[in-house]
């Protein structure tokens, strides 16, 4: 029996609650865990589960996402047959006519060429390391129409079902009035058998600033990191050829993740530091997330902070936030002494 799956990543979601990190990028492209983007997790899970054809359907702000995934080489998806496909929306993202099934139908040729018997549809903002083949096996054995993946009783935004059902939904979505696969699952009027698979591993849904901050620092727990990042099912990402991080005399690091290419002269505690970040002498960074290529001057104090990419913090600046409301510095901005918070 053909038990291959087609992978579809619904990258159309946007949330006002995380808008401060999506001004210049989509949710799928939000940096996470020092060197990854949110989309890396679902994309890697699909590849590790034997999926060789993946379609990404974004809505807007997808330039950064396209730059990150390129042709799918890092996920072994730059291939002659199947591979990675990118289908931007032809409809204005703010239009009331926007509909995920419409976006699928506008690219119906892709589905007509697909030979897989089953399909997996997933959102782009759920962080986990999951084996979809085990879920597919339960789906087949239980004779389900749709299997919804859940964690602690809550839907994870991931669904496995027969390709024939997807094709029927795409071609008849106007008749049914559906916009997403979730609409199908929640509709009490259909006669489909909806099953649920309870996933017991680590799961982090990133759709608010608080979730992003909390789950980022949660990675500093060894048991969480080991479950999410393992050698059997690795999480792939775009490779950056950067030198090892330099730890200068007087630097002090405690319970933190430091990516490569950094230069650390100050103190870092309980923080996530992305690639190519400079932290100057006399500076203390605590309970913070510092994204790629940010530069922090001398004698600064950053506590409870999220610095987006390419931020420059000048000397003697104090920035403070907390676990409930971390202070966010927008991408590419400069924080001077007169802007202390």
Q: What is the pLDDT of residues 67-106, one digit of tens each?
A: 999 999 999 999 988 999 999 987 655 555 679 999 999 9
3-state secondary structure at position 25: coil
Q: Looking at the predicted structure, is the pLDDT value of residue 34 above 70?
A: yes
Superfamily of domain 5-228: Spore Coat Polysaccharide Biosynthesis Protein SpsA; Chain A (3.90.550.10)
CA gap 329, 335 in Å, rounded? 8
* Predicted TM-score (pTM) of this structure: 0.95
Question: Do residues 40 and 236 touch, judged by C-beta distance below 8 A?
Answer: yes
Q: What is the mean pLDDT of residues 172-188?
A: 93
Q: What are the tens digits of pLDDT across the range 238-286?
A: 998 899 999 999 999 999 999 999 999 999 999 999 999 999 999 999 9
Q: What are phi and psi of 143, to 5 degrees?
A: 55, 45
Q: Looking at the predicted structure, is the pLDDT value of residue 130 above 90?
A: yes
Residue 58's nearest CA partner among 80, 34, 25 is 25
Question: Do residues 127 and 32 touch, judged by C-beta distance below 8 A?
Answer: yes
DSSP 8-state assignment for residue 235? P
CATH of domain 246-339: 2.160.10.10
Instruction: Give CATH 3.90.550.10 domain extents, the chain.
Output: 5-228
pLDDT of residue 264: 98
Q: What are phi and psi of 16, to 5 degrees?
A: -60, -30
Q: Residue 53 to residues 43, 83, 330: CA-CA distances in angstroms? A: 11, 5, 35
Instruction: Give CATH 2.160.10.10 domain extents, the chain.
Output: 246-339
pLDDT of residue 91: 67
Q: Looking at the predicted structure, is the pLDDT value of residue 297 above 90?
A: yes
Q: What is the mean pLDDT of residues 192-214?
A: 97
Q: Residue 268: exposed, middle, or buried by beta-carbon count in 10 A (0-12, 13-18, 19+)? A: buried
Could you tell me the pLDDT band of residue 341, with boundaries at 50, 70 and 90? very low
């Amino acid at each position: 029996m053909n038990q291959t799956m087609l992978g579809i990543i619904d990258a159309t979601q946007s949330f006002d609650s995380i808008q401060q990190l999506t001004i210049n990028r989509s949710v799928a492209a939000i940096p996470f865990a020092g060197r990854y983007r949110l989309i890396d997790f679902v994309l890697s899970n699909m590849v590790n589960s034997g999926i060789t054809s993946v379609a990404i359907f974004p809505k807007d702000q997808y330039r950064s996402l396209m730059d990150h995934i390129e042709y799918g080489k890092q996920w072994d998806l730059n291939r002659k047959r199947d591979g990675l496909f990118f289908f931007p929306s032809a409809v204005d993202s703010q239009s009331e006519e926007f509909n995920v099934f419409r976006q699928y139908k506008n690219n119906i040729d892709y589905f007509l060429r697909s030979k897989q018997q089953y399909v997996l549809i997933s959102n782009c903002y759920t962080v986990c390391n999951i084996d979809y083949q085990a879920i597919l096996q339960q789906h087949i054995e239980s004779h389900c129409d749709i299997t919804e993946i859940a964690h602690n009783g809550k839907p994870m935004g991931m669904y496995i079902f027969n390709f024939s059902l997807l094709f029927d939904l795409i071609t008849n979505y106007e008749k049914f009035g559906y916009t997403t696969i979730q609409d199908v699952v929640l509709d009490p009027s259909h006669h489909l058998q909806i099953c649920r698979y309870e996933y017991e591993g680590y799961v982090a849904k990133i759709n608010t600033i608080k979730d992003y901050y909390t789950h980022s620092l949660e990675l500093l727990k060894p048991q969480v990191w080991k479950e999410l990042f393992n050698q059997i099912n690795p999480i792939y990402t775009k490779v950056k050829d950067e030198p090892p991080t330099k730890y200068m005399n007087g630097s002090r690091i405690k319970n933190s993740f430091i990516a490569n290419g950094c230069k650390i002269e100050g103190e870092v505690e309980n923080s996530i530091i992305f690639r190519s970040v400079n932290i100057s002498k006399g500076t203390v960074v605590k309970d913070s997330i510092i994204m790629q290529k940010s530069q922090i001057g001398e004698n600064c104090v950053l506590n409870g902070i999220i610095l987006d990419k390419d931020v420059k913090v000048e000397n003697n600046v104090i920035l403070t936030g907390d676990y409930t409301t971390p202070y966010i510095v927008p991408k590419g901005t400069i924080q001077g002494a007169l802007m202390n918070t």
